[in-house]
């Protein structure tokens, strides 16, 4: 039961004077009573408290809740989503291995794969979201990991998680998915056969645009393996203070997600009637709807659309008039956001993206639907009248 996980799991108030809110154990270090005590704790550092780079009581509460939400046995919390993605990928690969990566993962995940992993002798091939059978043909004897992001966070492509997990299992390949878009409330990849689930918890899981965090969820043995090597060596841990803020954010995750989801649906309904909208990218529409609905129970507040124009001037006009949406990267907080792809065009020394300049990524936060629709109307009218 989600409420039980969010409100109770992992919280033993007798350990902290019956305080409602678990304290922030703002300590890097823990003291041992004896040599035996030290030996016992160091032998199982994942479940005891030795040093906060490994484990901390505030962080441990979060680990239990996140793991349970993802239907996994255990979880690690990191200081950013990229901390989680890097740690998870590096833990499963060594020189000479082959990684199969989804075509358009989050940009820095792509940089990790393309620029860093290859530097250490890992071979990488990319596959398209809608080609599960072609993926089978791409598997080599040295393929060790399939990396997924479904839906991806810009063009919202969906991968067939059940089918990919089944193929991977036939070949003893580890599957890793970035589940930031859906959160465990809308998609539980473990139940579909995926091995490792990572998140940018900076997004919905924290939800207030004030903490950088990430999570890695998997079976106990997998988490222990990652913990004792990559997590302890690379040191991507979260601070106890940020873990406490994340616990606070998590309390309202179901409410926030439902609000963003419902408002986004109303806004999409309006955008579908707007002649200046050429194409909408949203997992529950068009070609991907059936597959998406078979593995997700909602979409939340993130979608993209293309403005129906060939003029960059129009895109600028629309962007300036859409002033109730902050122009910012990231998403998943309380505030609505816009990301105009035009901003990535015509930058010295950088190639233009393969994504149309007319595309806007929109994140719907917690504001009222009519308030946001009024702002869209103003922006579309400004383009029409200019
Ligand atoms: C889908 C997705 N995954 C991962 C990340 C990386 O997370 P973080 O910024 O917390 O390192 C992001 C960040 O924008 C993202 O959008």
Strands, E assignment, the chain: 74-78, 98-102, 123-127, 143-149, 174-178, 196-200, 214-218, 277-281, 302-307, 326-327, 337-340, 359-363
CA nearest ligand 1 atom 2, residue: 106
Q: Indicate which atom in ligand 1 lies nearest the CA of residue 214.
A: 10
The residues of the chain that CATH labels 3.40.640.10 are 2-251
- Sequence-distant (6+) residues with CB within 8 A of 233 are none
User: Ligand 1: does its nearest atom lie under 6 Å from the Cβ of 153?
Assistant: yes
Distance (Å, rounded) from C-alpha 346 to C-alpha 353?
10
Determine the pLDDT at residue 132.
Answer: 84
Determine the pLDDT at residue 130.
Answer: 81
User: Ligand 1: does its nearest atom lie under 6 Å from the Cβ of 87?
Assistant: no
Determine the pLDDT at residue 320.
Answer: 98
Q: 106 CA distance to ligand 1 centroid (A)? A: 7
CA nearest ligand 1 atom 10, residue: 81
Q: Indicate which atom in ligand 1 lies nearest the CA of residue 330.
A: 14
Token duo for residue 127:
């596959």
CA nearest ligand 1 atom 6, residue: 81
Q: What is the pTM of this model?
A: 0.97
User: Ligand 1: does its nearest atom lie under 6 Å from the Cβ of 155?
Assistant: no
Candidates 3.90.1150.10, 3.40.109.10, 3.40.50.300, 3.40.1160.10; correct CATH number of 253-385? Answer: 3.90.1150.10
* CATH class (in words) of the domain with range 2-251: alpha beta
- Sequence-distant (6+) residues with CB within 8 A of 264 are 299, 300, 301, 302, 303, 364
Comparing CA positions, the residue from 185, 228, 241, 188 lying closest to residue 62 is 241
Determine the pLDDT at residue 304.
Answer: 98
Token duo for residue 28:
């890097």
Q: What is the pLDDT along the chain (386 residues), one digit of tens a residue?
A: 999 999 999 999 999 999 999 999 999 999 999 999 999 999 999 999 999 999 999 999 999 999 999 999 999 999 999 999 999 999 999 999 999 999 999 999 999 999 999 999 999 999 998 878 889 999 999 999 999 999 999 999 999 999 999 999 999 999 999 999 999 999 999 999 999 999 999 999 999 999 999 999 999 999 999 999 999 999 999 999 999 999 999 999 999 999 999 999 999 999 999 999 999 999 999 888 999 999 999 999 999 999 999 999 999 999 999 999 999 999 999 999 999 999 999 999 999 999 999 999 999 999 999 999 999 999 999 999 98
Q: 119 CA distance to ligand 1 centroid (A)? A: 22
Determine the pLDDT at residue 366.
Answer: 98
Q: 365 CA distance to ligand 1 centroid (A)? A: 17
User: Ligand 1: does its nearest atom lie under 6 Å from the Cβ of 200?
Assistant: yes
User: Ligand 1: does its nearest atom lie under 6 Å from the Cβ of 82?
Assistant: yes
The residues of the chain that CATH labels 3.90.1150.10 are 253-385
Q: What is the CA radius of gyration of the chain?
A: 22
Q: Indicate which atom in ligand 1 lies nearest the CA of residue 181.
A: 1
User: Ligand 1: does its nearest atom lie under 6 Å from the Cβ of 178?
Assistant: yes
Beta bridge partners of 41: none
- Cα dihedral sign for 181, 377, 322, 319? positive
Q: 386 CA distance to ligand 1 centroid (A)? A: 36
Phi, psi values for residue 149, rounded to 5°:
-145, 100
The single-letter DSSP state of residue 221 is H
Token duo for residue 91:
């833990």
Q: 199 CA distance to ligand 1 centroid (A)? A: 7
CA nearest ligand 1 atom 7, residue: 81
Determine the pLDDT at residue 288.
Answer: 86
User: Ligand 1: does its nearest atom lie under 6 Å from the Cβ of 358?
Assistant: no
User: Ligand 1: does its nearest atom lie under 6 Å from the Cβ of 106?
Assistant: yes
């Amino acid at each position: 039961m989600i409420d039980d996980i969010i409100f109770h799991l992992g919280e033993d108030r007798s350990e902290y004077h019956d305080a409602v809110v678990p304290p922030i154990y703002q300590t890097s270090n823990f003291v041992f009573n004896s040599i035996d005590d030290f030996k016992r704790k160091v032998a199982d550092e994942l479940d005891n408290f030795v040093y906060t780079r490994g484990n901390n009581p505030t962080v441990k509460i979060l680990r239990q809740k996140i793991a349970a939400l993802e239907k996994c046995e255990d979880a690690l919390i990191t200081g950013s989503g990229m901390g989680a993605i890097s740690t998870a990928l590096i833990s499963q690969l060594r020189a000479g291995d082959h990684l199969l990566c989804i075509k358009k993962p989050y940009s820095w995940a792509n940089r990790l794969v393309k620029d860093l992993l290859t530097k250490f002798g890992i071979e990488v091939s990319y596959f398209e979201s809608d080609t599960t059978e072609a993926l089978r043909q791409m598997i080599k004897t040295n393929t060790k990991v399939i990396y997924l992001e479904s839906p991806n966070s810009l063009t919202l492509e969906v991968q067939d998680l059940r089918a990919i997990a089944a193929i991977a299992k036939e070949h003893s390949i580890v599957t890793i998915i970035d589940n930031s878009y859906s959160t465990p409330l809308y998609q539980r990849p473990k139940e579909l056969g995926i091995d490792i689930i990572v998140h940018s918890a900076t997004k919905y899981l924290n939800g207030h645009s004030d903490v950088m965090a990430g999570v890695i969820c998997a079976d106990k043995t997998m988490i222990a393996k990652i913990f004792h090597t990559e997590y302890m060596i690379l040191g991507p841990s979260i601070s106890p203070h940020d873990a406490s803020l994340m616990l606070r954010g998590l309390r309202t995750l179901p409410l926030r997600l439902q609000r963003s989801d419902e408002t986004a649906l109303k806004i999409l309904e309006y955008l579908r009637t707007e002649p200046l909208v050429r194409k909408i990218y949203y997992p529950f529409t068009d070609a991907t709807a059936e597959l998406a609905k078979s593995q997700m129970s909602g979409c939340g507040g993130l979608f993209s659309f293309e403005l129906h124009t060939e003029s960059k001037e129009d895109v600028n006009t629309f962007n300036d008039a859409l002033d109730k949406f902050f122009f910012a990267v990231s998403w998943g907080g309380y505030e609505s956001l816009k990301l105009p792809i035009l901003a990535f065009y015509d930058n010295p020394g950088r190639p233009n993206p393969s994504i149309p300049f007319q595309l806007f990524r929109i994140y719907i936060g917690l504001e009222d639907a009519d308030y946001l629709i009024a702002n869209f109307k103003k922006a579309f009218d400004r383009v029409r009248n200019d």
